[in-house]
Amino acid sequence: MLDIYIIASVWLALAVLSTILANRLKISMALMEICVGAAAGYVAARFFDPDILKPNADWMKFIAGSGAMLLTFLAGAELDPVSLRAKAKEVTLVGLIGFLAPFLGCAALAYFVLGWDPRASLLGGIALSTTSMAVVYAVMLEYGFNKTEYGKGILGACFVNDLGTVIALGLIFAPFSYKTIILIVACAAIIFILPPLTARLTHIYGNRTAAIRTKWIVFVLFSLGALALWSGSEAVLPAYIAGMVLAGSVAKDEFFIRRLRTLTISFLTPIYFLRAGYFVSIPAVVAAPLVFFALFGGKVISKIFGLYPVIGRFRESKKERWYYTLLMSTGLTFGSISALYGLTHDIITRDQYSFLIAAVIGSAVIPTIIANKAFLPEHLLEAPMADEEVPQLDRVADVWETGDIDNYLKKKGTR
């Protein structure tokens, strides 16, 4: 046990270092954790033993896997069902093209240009087909686009894009058998059973026992994850579906989501992203930079050529089109999850994994910087929010629930 505590303390020290650096450099914490993990892996391989921090120990896999499941659930829970219904055509079309264009383009690039085998090429296409909800959501919050119909459309398209990635990962690489049918039936059942059952459980016990909803959600995710692994699929698939199903109910409780997010981001996902970075071979990327540029260029270019004409059907402003397109070209969380899945299941080699992670990191940073520097649609932020979008807050209890005290004070005429 002493060795486990020592190793765990080192991983958490790396997590603290990543948080400090991310804050200082003003970049995504997940991105910094991958970079710090890659540096730690290089130092370990160069001066010590590559296995010194036990990245393949069962307890490490469990913590990292738990982080991936809960993070995926939270991504699905951030979904706004009302906005999706209102902009169903836009988010569906943009999301599907955002997945298919880079999936097909990067898979073809890996197979015909880089000479990867078919399975590795398909895995590469999946890993590079994603859009980073973490990066996009952070940008939306920073500039206030999350309150506009424009920002809600981008977020909805991101969800559809990433859902296509998660489903493709499960369908292409999971062996189809009677176990797969059981998994599909279980996922279909949670769509109808989970919301009312969760609401009933919360109504009876929510205010009487400690963290009953957190325990319930973690129980559901672990159970579905076990079923997915038993069927040969990936645990993040049912977790994403569970998050989307509960987006209209449980996710409205900001205090509950905040608690679950704290548990996930403070302990579980740092281990996941640090471990994902630890497997990156920096010498391999440095030795063959053209492979990295090919994968990065393939992802971004295929996204732009696929999405820009489609987004033009819904947006007339040139800035709005380019900003929308470039944010949809980012990638991070699901790209790293897919790449790590391929490495741990011997679908890709460690060098191929390193190139994919490097391309994913590049897509998280470069398109975002270009979008914010050159194509930020400031005019959308200058327009006042439509009356129908302003919440009607009549009671102090509503303010406590939503946290929108400014709107409450305006309504009461005190501001």
The sign of the torsion formed by the CA atoms of 154, 156, 162, 165 equals: negative
pLDDT greater at residue 309 or residue 247: 309
Which residue from 255, 379, 283, 375 is spatially nearest to 326, judged by alpha carbons? 375
Alpha carbon separation from 299 to 112, 247, 277 (Å, rounded): 15, 30, 20
What are the φ/ψ torsions at residue 235 (nearest 5 degrees)?
A: -65, -20
State residue 152's pLDDT score.
82
* CATH T-level assignment (fold) for domain 58-383: Na+/H+ antiporter like fold (1.20.1530)
Average pLDDT, integer, range 267-288: 86
Whether 387 has a pLDDT exceeding 70, the answer reads no
Average pLDDT, the chain: 82
Alpha carbon separation from 13 to 16, 34, 68, 70, 97 (Å, rounded): 5, 14, 20, 22, 41
State residue 311's pLDDT score.
94
- To the nearest whole percent, how much of the chain has pLDDT over 90? 27
Which residue from 117, 90, 130, 84 is spatially nearest to 332, judged by alpha carbons? 130
Cβ proximity of 172 and 126 under 8 Å:
yes
Cα of first residue to Cα of last residue in the chain, in angstroms, is 59
Q: Which amino acid is residue 62, in one-letter code?
A: F
Average pLDDT, integer, range 280-299: 89
User: Is the pTM of the predicted complex or chain greater than 0.85?
Assistant: no
Location of structure tokens 């506009």:
148
Average pLDDT, integer, range 175-182: 81
User: Residue 397, CB half-sphere, CA atoms under 13 Å: how many?
Assistant: 0
DSSP H or E segment with residue 247: none
Average pLDDT, integer, range 96-118: 95
pLDDT greater at residue 373 or residue 396: 373
| Residue 381 exposed, middle or buried by CB count within 10 Å (0-12, 13-18, 19+) | middle
- Which residue ranges make up each domain of the chain? 58-383, 384-415
How many Å separate Cα 382 from the centre of its chain?
29
Question: Residue 109 gets which letter from DSSP?
Answer: I
